[in-house]
Amino acid sequence: VYLGVWTNWSRGPVMGLTLTMTRSNADLLIAFVAFYIAFVGRRFWRIFCFACHSIVSSRTGQAREGTYHQHQVILRNAETATSGVVALVQVLWAWR
């Protein structure tokens, strides 16, 4: 079995690019990709929260209700996307 980068021409020059490696190297690559995706996901959540917080807080002339302040606190303090979404749903459910 050939180890390295090669092209499976039956799938074309772009979709056919293939990387073959040993099992231990593949395990390391999978672990790195999983770590990288988790890291990027956390950073994207923080950027998304900051953008939402900035957009909502830049609106002037609006009365500030309790839901506004709770949403701002959640956007500022939510550690993960899951905890943030759950907290926002709980606030929306409580103020329905």
Which has the higher per-residue pLDDT, 57 or 34?
34
Give residue 62's pLDDT: 64
Q: Are strands 17-20 and 4-7 parallel, antiparallel or unpaired?
A: antiparallel
Q: In angstroms, rounded to a whole number, what is the distance separating the alpha carbons of residues 26 and 22?
A: 6
Q: Which helix (H) or strand (E) segment is 19 a member of?
A: strand 17-20
Contact residues for 8 (Cβ-Cβ < 8 A; gap 6+): 16, 17, 18
* Confidence (pLDDT) at 59: 72
Q: Which two tokens stand for residue 42?
A: 């956390």
Give 37-88 pLDDT, tens digit per residue. Answer: 999 999 999 999 999 888 888 776 666 778 888 888 998 888 888 999 999 9
